[in-house]
Chain A
Amino acid sequence: MVSTSAPGSAPGLDAAAGLDLQASFETLLQGAGLNAGTAHLLWLPLPMLLVLVAAVVGVLVNVWLERKISAAVQQRIGPEYAGALGVLQPLADGLKLVFKEDIIPARADGLLFTLGPVLVLIPVILSWLVVPFGQNLLISNVGVGIFLWIALSSIQPIGLLMSGYASNNKYSLLGGLRAAAQSISYEIPLALAVLAVVMMSNSLSTVDIVNQQTGAGILSWNIWRQPVGFVIFWICALAECERLPFDLPEAEEELVAGYQTEYAGMKFALFYLGSYINLVLSALLVSVLYLGGWGFPLPVEWLAGWLGQPIDAPAVQVITASVGIVMTVLKAYLLVFLAILLRWTTPRVRIDQLLDLGWKFLLPIALVNLLVTAGLKLAFPAFFGG
């Protein structure tokens, strides 16, 4: 997928608008005597590895936050002994899962049982392809951008159905079926909410969507123009991540643990990793679509102007790029905090309530939101991206 689309610097982008690490890296290597092809080949795996490491570290942070915040909500202390404030606890959890015995139930279908968790994890990691941390700080600025994420996230239910079926356990099968039903129902309002944003920015590319929200800092963020879309997207993202109040597929009082019931060791860890990477990814995409992505609440161009610095000076570029990364991650983790708080304070909905909410409430609202956005775009093209 990466090899067919131009990685890094995409056509139609103003390369001067931000730090271009790829160009700097390749000129550096060419200066050291390598030819252009080799330099490019050496560059290719770097952003992928970097994003993979970032995703896994994001999961570790997430697990620690989940443990600490849930403890605070329930007036406990939470993990304390593994490192300062228990920061090494997620690492200990991970190590435990690595060393656990890998069990395949005797009457289970071994091949599908192994393939299921892999199919759940791979689309989630592939979706990080389009998450931008800055003007040029993403693996690949593919033209279909956000649509690629929607398409990839629709593969996940197949993995869930596969593992639910292969476990040969009625709870697992029910959990898998519920996961698929939930995922299909919530994908449609999610896609419609994204479509309204795409309509305003005239592009599917995540970089263009963020660029359309720059200009007036916090005032130009999409959340003011798409408040309804923001709420719909957030609810649907929670449902897609199977977070409480929508964790029906693994409802422990009814289904033991849903499709994960028979899993242990690293295969269970793959599910675990997948669900947390998906949560971070959803939070990042909410911040990209509605909260201005890497934008600072005040435009960095204004700040640089007040300090009397040219915006394209190398030092200023490095600082703005760092600010961009920090802002993206900060916004995403604020949303993750909200999701964790929701998980530990809200009860679970029933399966019929869940499907009712998706089909009878969110879908019509999302359609109306799309229609109103189209009308406003025609009426006020200056504010709604004519």
Chain B
Amino acid sequence: MTIASTTQQICFAVLSTTVVAGALGVVLLPNVVYAAFLLAGVFLSVAGLYLMLNASFVAAAQILVYVGAVNVLILFAIMLVNKREDLAAIPGLGLRRLLSGLVCGGLFVLLIRVAFTTPWGSGPEPVGEEATIRIGEHLFSDYLLPFELASVLLLMAMIGAIVLARRDVFSEDIGTGEEVDQGLIEKARTPLLLDRSVR
């Protein structure tokens, strides 16, 4: 056994353990902040697995998109709304947990069966450093339509988010019916520091 293959096996063992343990932690931990941080760990380990498969561009993209953007935004949202309050207990929690555990276990058994019955051949040769060029070629030829459709989808999501977040589109709050003025910056007509009428 050479040094390279030993290193590879150790790396694979460590990375797969982190992925499995981290994913279980994401699902099972009651603290949502821990779950979000563990999710970042899982994404990083998956990037490591990509790296071991000689797909360095995909690994870097995985880190940039999932860890750097998606996970940071999840954390951001959690920390902006996190109030550290105890939620009221849901009735029949034990039964719910049992049912969801059964569903997950069944799915797991099914996947194990698929994994063992499928004849796994040795896949195509990894292209290695050339992968960036190949991905670019595919994105601009046979995958052009899905690529553009994905960007349209993202645009729709962005416009929706802007409409929801910018309350000045609606002049009054939907819940209370009061006038809404959520400008963050000091307005010239009502200086925040000098206005003594508001007590």
Q: Are B75 and A154 in contact, CB atoms less than 8 angstroms apart? A: no
Q: Are A151 and B51 in contact, CB atoms less than 8 angstroms apart? A: no
Q: Are B56 and A151 in contact, CB atoms less than 8 angstroms apart? A: no
Q: Are A147 and B72 in contact, CB atoms less than 8 angstroms apart? A: no
Q: Which chain B positions have C-beta within 8 A of A173?
A: 79
Q: Which chain A positions have C-beta within 8 A of B68?
A: 151, 154-155, 157, 184, 187
Q: Which chain A positions have C-beta within 8 A of B33?
A: 165
Check B42 for interface membership: any CB of A closer than 8 A.
no
What is the distance, in angstroms, from A41's C-beta to the closest C-beta of chain B? 6
**Proximity string of chain A (1-37) to chain B, C-beta cutoff 8 Å, 1 when within and 0 when not:** 1011100000100000000000000000000000001
Classify the interface of chain B: helix, strand, loop or mixed: helix
Q: Are B76 and A144 in contact, CB atoms less than 8 angstroms apart? A: no
User: Count the A-B residue pairs with Cβ separation under 8 angstroms: how many?
Assistant: 84
B40-61 residues with Cβ-Cβ distance < 8 A to A are 40, 44, 51-52, 54, 56-57, 60-61
Q: Are A152 and B63 in contact, CB atoms less than 8 angstroms apart? A: yes
**Proximity string of chain A (88-129) to chain B, C-beta cutoff 8 Å, 1 when within and 0 when not:** 000000000000000000000000100000000000000000
Of the candidates A1, A152, A158, the one having the most CB atoms from chain B within 10 angstroms of its own CB is A158
Identify which of B1-9, B19-27, B90-98 touches chain A.
B1-9
Q: Which chain B positions have C-beta within 8 A of A154?
A: 63-64, 67-69, 72
Check B181 for interface membership: any CB of A closer than 8 A.
no
B140-196 residues with Cβ-Cβ distance < 8 A to A are 184-185
Q: Are B7 and A3 in contact, CB atoms less than 8 angstroms apart? A: yes
Q: Are A177 and B76 in contact, CB atoms less than 8 angstroms apart? A: yes
Check B137 for interface membership: any CB of A closer than 8 A.
no
Q: Which chain B positions have C-beta within 8 A of A183?
A: 72
Q: Are B69 and A144 in contact, CB atoms less than 8 angstroms apart? A: no
Q: Are A158 and B71 in contact, CB atoms less than 8 angstroms apart? A: yes
Q: Which chain A positions have C-beta within 8 A of B63?
A: 151-152, 154-155
Closest to A2 in B: B7
Q: Are B7 and A144 in contact, CB atoms less than 8 angstroms apart? A: no
Q: Which chain B positions have C-beta within 8 A of A184?
A: 68-69, 72-73
Q: Are A37 and B2 in contact, CB atoms less than 8 angstroms apart? A: yes
A-B contact pairs, 24 of them (CB 8 A): A3-B7, A4-B8, A37-B2, A37-B3, A112-B37, A143-B57, A143-B128, A143-B131, A148-B56, A150-B64, A151-B68, A154-B63, A154-B67, A154-B68, A154-B72, A155-B44, A158-B67, A158-B75, A161-B79, A176-B79, A180-B75, A180-B76, A184-B69, A352-B185
> Which B residues are closer than 8 A to A by beta carbons?
2-4, 7-8, 11, 33, 37, 40, 44, 51-52, 54, 56-57, 60-61, 63-64, 67-69, 71-73, 75-76, 79-80, 128-129, 131-132, 184-185
